[in-house]
Amino acid sequence: MPVLERFRLHGRRAFVTGASRGIGRAVGLALAEAGADVALAARDEARLTELAAEIEPLGRRAHVVPLDLAKLESIEPAIHAAANALGGLDLLVNNAGVTYRAGFGIEDPAEFDRMFDINLGAVLFACQAARPHLAAGGGGVIVNIGSIAGTKGTGLYGASKEAVHALTRGFSREYANDGIRVVALAPGQVYTDMGARVRANPDEMNTLLHHTAQGRVADPAEIAAAVVYLASPAADFVTGTTIAIDGGRDFFARR
């Protein structure tokens, strides 16, 4: 197979969470551009409908899935319905997430529950719900969006994302016999709504950029491109790992 053909996703069917904005929106559009039909899941149905209208002229199907991932019991029926609408599933992208700004100083148990339900619980239940559909098609790919905050141990948000990295490793072993690859990405700072608080704080932003080799924030499309690679046959030997995509943030300090 020619090398560029290995990156194509023609005929694949994907389910993307948090698809109404930021990384998820970019992922939905990129997968469609690569040839996949996509189920777009998030709470904001209006934004999903707008994205679907961008995708359909590409000749791909876009199925809108209004879904509140904090309601864990709603995930399985949503994935089953999307699989029925698309005629199966080949790819799950667990992108949706929420952050908490106060490090480890959380005081409201309800807020703690919400963050871990969405950042970790939704990933768990989505993987479990997607597994039979992926296996029925002869295998597939799950891409979990973690965070460099997990590998760096940054607050409770980082703890929830490091748990996603651990879940990725475990599921990659458990699902291997079904022909399912499970991988994670750990983005650094990305130009999304979630990162707006950091970008609005000059001191915090300058510190972050000082420790980033490229000295800038990522565009969501750069994360989406990595998802396309991981979802494609080009990455058929990649599973069970978390790949940092952070502009060289981990061990670098700019002079």
The per-residue pLDDT for range 44-76, each reduced to its tens digit, is 999 999 999 999 999 999 999 999 999 999 999
Closest-CA residue to 226 (of 131, 141, 143) = 143
Which residues are designated catalytic?
157
Task: Output the 3-class SS for the chain.
Answer: CCHHHHHCCCCCEEEEECCCCHHHHHHHHHHHHCCCEEEEEECCHHHHHHHHHHHHHHCCCEEEEECCCCCHHHHHHHHHHHHHHHCCCCEEEECCCCCCCCCCCCCCHHHHHHHHHHHHHHHHHHHHHHHHHHHHCCCEEEEEECCHHHHHCCHHHHHHHHHHHHHHHHHHHHCHHHCEEEEEEEECCECCHHHHHHHCCHHHHHHHHHCCCCCCCECHHHHHHHHHHHHCHHHCCCCCCEEEECCCCCCCCCC
Predicted confidence at residue 18, as pLDDT, reads 97
Would you say residue 10 lies in a domain?
yes
Closest-CA residue to 121 (of 64, 186, 76) = 76
Predicted confidence at residue 94, as pLDDT, reads 98
Predicted confidence at residue 104, as pLDDT, reads 60
Would you say residue 178 lies in a domain?
yes
Would you say residue 253 lies in a domain?
no
Of the listed ranges 85-89, 92-96, 97-101, 146-150, the least confidently predicted one is 97-101
The per-residue pLDDT for range 143-199, each reduced to its tens digit, is 999 999 888 777 888 899 999 999 999 999 999 999 999 999 999 888 877 777 777
Domain membership of residue 45 as a residue range: 3-245
* In the chain, % of residues over pLDDT 90: 71
Looking at the 3D structure of the chain, how many domains does it have? 1
Would you say residue 251 lies in a domain?
no
The per-residue pLDDT for range 215-251, each reduced to its tens digit, is 888 899 999 999 999 999 999 999 999 999 998 886 5
Q: Is the pTM of this model over 0.85?
A: yes
Query: For residues 26 and 220, is the Cβ–Cβ distance under 8 A?
Result: yes
Cβ neighbours of residue 16 under 8 Å, at least 6 residues apart?
Answer: 24, 27, 28, 31, 38, 39, 40, 41, 93, 95
Predicted confidence at residue 62, as pLDDT, reads 98
pLDDT at 103 over 60: no
Would you say residue 252 lies in a domain?
no
pLDDT at 125 over 90: yes
Q: How confident is the model at residue 120 (pLDDT cuts 50, 70, 90)?
A: very high
Would you say residue 27 lies in a domain?
yes
User: What CATH number corresponds to the domain at position 172?
Assistant: 3.40.50.720
Roughly how many angstroms between the first and final C-alpha of the chain, as a whole number? Answer: 45
Predicted confidence at residue 123, as pLDDT, reads 98
Strand partners, 42: 66
Residue matched to tokens 């559009």:
29
